[in-house]
């Protein structure tokens, strides 16, 4: 249509880059996807390549625009979100090797990388006031422990580094040449104090990264702007050619991927403070907005203006969620046979198991009975919240000698219940600190099945609402681009205009509610016992 404007949202997850083209009504007209490389050849080390990611982003955007059937010249704005991975670049933007492979193209320490566990513990022992804003304990998934690891284990790389970027900020730099950082990234993952609009130099000196302060923060960000802010002069000629768009197209400051999902969802109902955004993907992230700061032990934040401008954010989550379910079912003797059957049906194994579980019951909320006597604490990669315990590990209780598909379905259901009980713990911890929520707005690839959503509602005790759009994370990124293009006065207005509810999943009552209450008690007991015995 002549005169129509469109917006591109780009979402870089752990395994792929995706792009979506949206119109001014928030409708997704076309998407594109390209896998990205990931390297895991050392314990606890996970690395990627910024060059590979940029190439995948460009391919995904070109595919999305072509699929949508719109002219590149009608794209008014683009927004990026990405995992909170650390990109290390030398002079002129050259890649620097971040690990023992010595391969320079491997210049990213991925968010899930746990090489900096000792450095995180060192920082936590010093108990600096800054840590109040990360739930009292910094995580090895955050950037300061990783920077300290680089300084201690790869001092030449640390010294040569020209810029340390969060991945979303790397993408906006690659697109525009601007070194501006997003309030979202540096506040949530770098301990920037957004409510005071400053880095804390005393904190950096205390933890052993004082040179970053002495350099006037030039390598970690001097220009900090809110998501939705237009950066640079839009797309450079080079980036526009790579992406297949026109030069000077507005580019927004980026966001962490989960937070973009929050932008695409928590505006439902017009009151973000009532909604918990729950992004259920490879990992999960909980996003709760409050008008006043709420300090929740073990939950990251409160962060000011890190997601919804003008509101404080508490961020919890599970380090393994969809990945935990994949890991869990892979242990079962029927895994290979079931996987082959799922491939024949053209669906993932978890989706097939959810379909089969739903078919066994007259109501989705009754499916918990399939897992009777079988309990799972799916903390294969530690507990992100509310215990901030990276050493936590998973437990499976109640296994027998069964090898058939029915027992695999039961294990799957028990695993999803375990994810739901972990979510319930976060909700209860926040409520005790005055950050209660009324409902959960779900997004993410692992949370799209009706059965999964119903189990999460039953296990958490809160209504679960699916957004109208099937691509809430991409919509959130596109809303950034639309705001940068001045289609909306601000990001909150964009959220209120285009975030709409879809199906609502009410938590079960009666016997099913009682069963989940009992199972939740077992879940908490198993967690406690695991903490007691981990050293034996």
Q: What is the pLDDT of residues 69-89, one digit of tens each?
A: 999 999 999 999 999 999 999
Length of the chain: 536
Q: Are residues 187 and 284 in the same domain?
A: no
Q: Are residues 69 and 132 in the same domain?
A: yes
Domain boundary pick from 212, 229, 255: 255
Place of tokens 């004082």: 210
Q: Are 479 and 495 in contact (CB under 8 A)?
A: yes
Residue 474 lies in a domain: no
Residue 496 lies in a domain: no
Q: Are residues 233 and 307 in the same domain?
A: no
Task: Tell me the average pLDDT of the chain.
Answer: 95
Residue 494 lies in a domain: no
d(CA 245, CA 223): 26
> CATH number, domain at 216?
3.30.420.40
> Does the bond joining 191 to the residue before it have cis omega, within 30 degrees of 0?
no
Instruction: Name the strand (E) or helix (H) holding 16.
Output: strand 16-22
Q: Are residues 389 and 510 in the same domain?
A: yes
Place of tokens 């320490």: 109
Q: Are residues 295 and 220 in the same domain?
A: no
Among candidate residues 500, 501, 498, the one with its CA nearest the CA of residue 480? 498
Q: Are residues 242 and 338 in the same domain?
A: no
The pLDDT score that the predictor gives to residue 361 is 76
| Helix ranges (DSSP H) in 209-287 | 210-214, 237-243, 257-263
Q: Are residues 194 and 293 in the same domain?
A: no
The pLDDT score that the predictor gives to residue 2 is 47
Q: Are residues 455 and 530 in the same domain?
A: yes
Instruction: Name the strand (E) or helix (H) holding 418.
Output: helix 405-432
What is the total count of domains within the chain? 2
Q: Are 382 and 319 in contact (CB under 8 A)?
A: yes
310 CB neighbour count, 10 Å cutoff: 12
By residue range, what is the domain housing residue 207?
Answer: 6-255
Q: Are residues 120 and 15 in the same domain?
A: yes
Domain boundary pick from 223, 255, 287: 255
The pLDDT score that the predictor gives to residue 363 is 53
Residue 293 lies in a domain: yes
d(CA 429, CA 423): 10
First-to-last alpha carbon distance for the chain, in angstroms, is 68
Residue 493 lies in a domain: no
Q: Are 419 and 383 in contact (CB under 8 A)?
A: no
Residue 403 lies in a domain: yes
Q: Are residues 212 and 331 in the same domain?
A: no
Q: What is the pLDDT of residues 392-418, one digit of tens each?
A: 999 999 999 999 999 999 999 999 999
Pick out the chain residues at pLDDT < 50.
Answer: 1-2
Q: Are residues 141 and 92 in the same domain?
A: yes
Place of tokens 């002219």: 71
Domain boundary pick from 255, 279, 311: 255
Q: What is the pLDDT of residues 220-256, one digit of tens each?
A: 999 999 999 999 999 999 999 999 999 999 999 999 9
d(CA 301, CA 337): 44
Place of tokens 């989940």: 516
Residue 499 lies in a domain: no
Residue 486 lies in a domain: no
The pLDDT score that the predictor gives to residue 362 is 58
Q: Are 448 and 261 in contact (CB under 8 A)?
A: no
The pLDDT score that the predictor gives to residue 282 is 87
The pLDDT score that the predictor gives to residue 365 is 59
Q: Are residues 11 and 105 in the same domain?
A: yes
């Amino acid at each position: 249509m002549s005169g129509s404007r469109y917006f591109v949202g780009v979402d870089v997850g752990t395994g792929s880059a995706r792009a979506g083209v949206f119109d001014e009504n928030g409708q997704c007209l076309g998407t594109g996807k390209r896998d990205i490389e990931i390297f895991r050849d050392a314990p606890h080390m996970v690395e990627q390549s910024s060059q590979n990611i940029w190439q995948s982003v460009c391919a995904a955007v070109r595919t999305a625009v072509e699929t949508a059937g719109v002219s590149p010249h009608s794209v008014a704005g683009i927004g990026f979100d990405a995992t909170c991975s650390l990109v290390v670049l030398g002079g002129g933007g050259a890649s620097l090797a971040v690990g023992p492979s010595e391969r320079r193209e491997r210049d990213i320490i991925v968010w899930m990388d746990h090489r900096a566990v000792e450095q995180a513990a060192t920082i936590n022992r010093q108990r600096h006031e800054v840590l109040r804003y990360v739930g009292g304990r910094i995580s090895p998934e955050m950037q300061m422990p990783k920077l300290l690891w680089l300084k201690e284990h790869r001092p030449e790389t640390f010294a040569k580094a020209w810029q340390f970027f969060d991945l979303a900020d790397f993408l906006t730099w690659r697109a525009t040449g601007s070194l501006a950082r997003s309030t979202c990234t540096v506040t949530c993952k770098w301990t920037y104090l957004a409510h005071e609009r400053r880095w804390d130099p005393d904190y950096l000196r205390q933890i052993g990264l004082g040179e970053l302060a002495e350099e006037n923060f030039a390598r970690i960000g001097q220009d900090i702007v809110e998501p939705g802010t237009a950066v640079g002069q839009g797309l450079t000629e080079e980036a526009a050619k790579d992406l297949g768009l026109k030069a000077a197209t507005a580019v927004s400051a980026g966001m962490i991927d989960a937070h973009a999902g929050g932008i695409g969802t928590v505006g439902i109902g017009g009151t973000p403070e009532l909604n918990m955004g729950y992004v259920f993907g490879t990992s999960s992230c909980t996003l709760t907005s409050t008008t006043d700061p709420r300090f929740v032990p073990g939950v990251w934040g409160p962060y000011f203006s890190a997601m919804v401008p003008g509101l404080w954010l508490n961020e919890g989550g599970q380090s393994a969620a969809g990945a935990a379910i994949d890991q869990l079912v892979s242990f079962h003797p029927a895994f290979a046979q079931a996987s082959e059957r799922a491939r024949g049906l053209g669906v993932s194994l978890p989706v097939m198991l959810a379909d089969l579980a739903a078919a066994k019951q007259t109501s989705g909320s009754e499916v918990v009975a399939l897992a009777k006597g079988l309990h799972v604490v799916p903390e294969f990669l530690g507990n992100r919240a509310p215990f901030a315990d990276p050493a936590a590990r998973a437990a499976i209780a109640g296994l027998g000698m069964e090898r058939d598909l029915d027992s695999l379905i039961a294990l799957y259901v028990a695993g999803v219940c375990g994810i739901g009980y972990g979510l319930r713990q976060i909700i209860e911890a926040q409520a005790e600190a005055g950050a209660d929520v009324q409902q959960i707005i779900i997004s993410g690839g692992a949370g799209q099945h009706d059965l999964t959503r119903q189990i999460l509602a039953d296990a958490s005790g809160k209504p679960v609402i699916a957004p109208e759009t099937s691509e809430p994370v991409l919509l959130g990124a596109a809303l950034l681009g639309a705001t940068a293009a001045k289609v909306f006065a601000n990001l909150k207005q964009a959220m209120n205009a285009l975030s709409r509810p879809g199906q609502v999943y009410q938590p079960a009552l009666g016997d099913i509610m009682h069963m989940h209450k009992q199972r939740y008690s077992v879940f908490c007991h198993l967690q406690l016992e695991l903490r007691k015995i981990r050293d034996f």
